[in-house]
């Protein structure tokens, strides 16, 4: 159940990332890292994988998008919260 919720959140996050308009170099790097992390978060078998560096980058993304893209920031936080509930 929790894994399906996480997958749904990741899909929402991916759609919101596609909608980010203002892209400076820092934002481009943050977006690139998030897209890569989303792809790596769920492996081919649908299992959830976690790494500390990925969580750190997601926390940095939350801070980066907080002012200009609060909905995106909130979605990233929901992903991290779901991972925490799953024991990652």
pLDDT at 5: 78
Q: Judge whether 42 and 27 are in contact, CB under 8 Å.
A: no
pTM for the model stands at: 0.67
Q: What is the mean pLDDT of residues 73-79?
A: 88
User: Which of 11, 5, 3, 18 has its CA nearest to residue 50?
Assistant: 3
Q: What is the mean pLDDT of residues 64-76?
A: 88
Residue with tokens 């919260």: 81
Q: What is d(CA 41, CA 20) in angstroms, rounded to the nearest whole number?
A: 21
Q: What is the mean pLDDT of residues 3-9?
A: 78
pLDDT at 63: 92
Q: What is d(CA 36, CA 50) in angstroms, rounded to the nearest whole number?
A: 13
pLDDT in tens, 32-66: 787 777 777 765 454 555 566 777 888 888 998 89
pLDDT level of residue 1 (50, 70, 90 thresholds) = low
- Report whether pLDDT(7) > 70: yes
Cα 82–chain centre separation: 11
pLDDT at 48: 53
């Amino acid at each position: 159940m929790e894994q399906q919720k996480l997958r749904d959140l990741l899909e929402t996050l991916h759609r919101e990332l596609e909608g980010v308009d203002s892209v400076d170099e820092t934002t481009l790097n943050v977006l690139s890292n998030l897209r890569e992390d989303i792809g790596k978060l769920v492996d081919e078998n649908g299992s959830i994988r976690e790494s500390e560096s990925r969580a750190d980058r997601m926390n940095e993304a939350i801070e980066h998008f907080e002012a200009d893209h609060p909905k995106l920031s909130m979605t990233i936080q929901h992903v991290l919260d779901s991972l925490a509930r799953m024991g990652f």
